[in-house]
Chain A
């Protein structure tokens, strides 16, 4: 299964680097199979070893029993006759048995008539204290009476080593461990192959989903199997197909809505323009009509000419501002520290403004340079407008604070004043064209700021409290 369009590699089979290894489906599947293998093999091996151990123990016990019975029967006459030569010969042959570590023939008095340890012959014996030997657990001790007609005439004592049995069991245990490891390895490989098959399809779907998330609704995944993954792939394709259809509908609806909004906006803008230019134009028209009167005094005529000049200049500013707000310039981005640019603009604005002398400027730049990606001319325009707005908001003077603050991969610029602040009901219209709280303003400064910031991939944030001041902020990508 693979995504059948687009340029993203899909179904590569590699673990998604964003998912920790221990959380991957492949890892969990391999671990599950390996653990199940280990558990099942462990139980099986434990059972087999226990059975084998029991069988070997029983075999050894039976052999020892058989040997002791044989020994007691074979030595009965020799015990009765105290035929030490025969007994020594029998014991010698028994002692050659690899498992026999100790053997004795004891008469009714408790004297050793023959034994694998020659120094014990002719002496009486007593039991050793329990645990006297460090090899206690490796020894099987047997004693059997030598009986004639129900009368005990002697005793056979046998010590057989279980070391061979323990060695055999240890070998079996080691073999079993190797089997377990082998089974785990085989299981792991099989699990890896299965997980490769499953996760390859899942990876293809993940890649396709990622591309869907990026807006590419033309992507499809191949349906290679009839299992759950196949059904999922088919469902995915069906879902994307539906999304594509819905997206096309939404696009059409959006275009229609944008067109309607554009027309509405143009209407509103025209209305605003008409409203804005109607008053100065009316003043100009009226003044021109009055200038036609011959009886007009020269002082009044001069006043009318001043009015005409003032209103036409206002009309020119309105038109220039409108053109500036509407014009979109191509950005010439660069990466540089903007502190000096900001400082330069602030000084210039304060110097050119009448109220600038009453403003206390505080520059709070970050200690280290903060290079940001920006168009210097456009950023200068943004800072200029924001600072000018702030100065104009403090006609009686106040404190103007400009700061830069790195935040992750961005740098936050803030222009804060202690001026009048926005009335709450006007705050939401602050960036709308021709909304202004000042009589001399034309309401296009923040519109231009918003347009430039939008080109930089950011937006203006306004926090204002009436009577306390306004804080305007925006963020730029760090270079």
Chain B
């Protein structure tokens, strides 16, 4: 290693180190100085574990579903856990890529990007996996998905172009020789909004997933019917950022897996609509299920 000496005998590295210290001290002094005159001062607070949930429902509904889970995790980990979601799929993906969350609940389609950002899967929803569904009002005639669809131009409500259910349905329609171009597609931002669009008559059919339909109020759900259903797809995943300690990660998995084994956990699962609970997942499992 080449070391350049200054005339006074100090090395460049040493000088840079001192300059760095001085700059850090100055930067540290600025907020303190500003805080002296500011009634609401900036201080360090204990870090929260941020649980980021893919925005597949309205934020309030997601909060109602996941806040009990965040509460259980917070108590189990003895560390604050903050539930957050994002305004849309695109923003959620951007945040995942920016490593904005410690824990992420996401669909398998997004997982490769999450993994690339440094997340690793630790759990998944138990059971066979998610079914994509097409829903229509019960008082309307059951639509047939043949070549006549092109003439009828059904109004199809989808949550988002990037939504897992939309992707699944697009692939399923493809197997039936149809594509989204055969419909008048309108995106409503969330699964709930898409379902409500059908319920209110703004759309003829909605593409969503089974848990979303289950989570709708009875008054809405009872007036809707499933007109098409995809085979089970890969289950939703829960991944942790790679800087979350292994012990925390292990404790997290244990808490999730044990939820269906006690009453309080069952209530959390009921709130989520994930009646079968969580299961341990690994990279190998994901690779195998993807195949």
Contacts and interface: CB of A to CB of B under 8 A. Distances in A.
Given A108-B83, A109-B48, A110-B45, 4 more contacts: A80-B84, A128-B40, A148-B64, A149-B64
Nearest to B88: A81
Contact of B87 (A83, A117, A127, A149): A83
B87 A123 contact: no
B71 A120 contact: no
Given A81-B85, A83-B87, A109-B48, A149 B42 contact: no
B142 interface: no
B38 A81 contact: no
Interface in A94-139: 104, 107-112, 117, 119-120, 123-129, 132-133
Contact of A104 (B31, B40, B45, B58): B40
Interface in A399-425: none
Nearest to A149: B64
B100 to A, nearest CB: 8
Interface string A75-93: 0111011110010000000
Contact of B86 (A76, A81, A110, A126): A81
A35 interface: no
A119 B62 contact: no
Contacts of A86: 87
B38 A120 contact: yes
28 contacts: A76-B59, A80-B62, A80-B63, A80-B85, A81-B59, A81-B84, A81-B86, A81-B91, A82-B85, A82-B86, A86-B87, A104-B40, A107-B84, A108-B82, A108-B83, A109-B45, A110-B45, A120-B38, A123-B42, A125-B41, A125-B42, A128-B39, A148-B63, A149-B64, A151-B63, A151-B68, A151-B70, A153-B83
Interface residues of B, number: 30
Contact of B83 (A80, A119, A125, A132): A80
9 A-B pairs with the lowest CB-CB distances in the bound complex, closest first? A128-B39, A123-B42, A80-B59, A148-B63, A77-B59, A151-B67, A125-B40, A149-B64, A83-B87
B34 interface: yes
Contacts of A117: 38
Nearest to B63: A148
A77 B58 contact: yes
Contacts of A157: 40
A81 B87 contact: yes
A112 B39 CA distance: 14
Interface in B1-40: 31, 34, 38-40
A124 B42 contact: yes
A196 B209 CA distance: 98
A123 B63 CA distance: 24
B37 to A, nearest CB: 9
Contacts of B41: 125-126, 128
A399 to B, nearest CB: 102
B181 interface: no
Contact of B80 (A109, A120, A151): A109
A148 B85 contact: no
Contact of B48 (A82, A108, A151): A108
A131 B98 CA distance: 41
A132 B38 CA distance: 9
B108 interface: no
B247 interface: no
Contact of A151 (B31, B71, B84, B87): B71
Contacts of A76: 59-60, 63
Contacts of A151: 63, 67-68, 70-71
B55 interface: yes
B284 interface: no
B102 to A, nearest CB: 12
Nearest to A154: B82
Given A124-B45, A151-B67, A132 B85 contact: no
Contacts of A120: 38, 40, 42
Nearest to A148: B63
A477 B1 CA distance: 134
B258 to A, nearest CB: 22
Interface string B173-197: 0000000000000000000000000
B44 interface: yes
A425 B87 CA distance: 134
B40 A153 contact: no
Contacts of B86: 81-83
Given A109-B48, A148-B63, A148-B67, A124 B43 contact: yes
A177 to B, nearest CB: 36
B65 to A, nearest CB: 9
Nearest to B40: A125
A123 B43 CA distance: 8
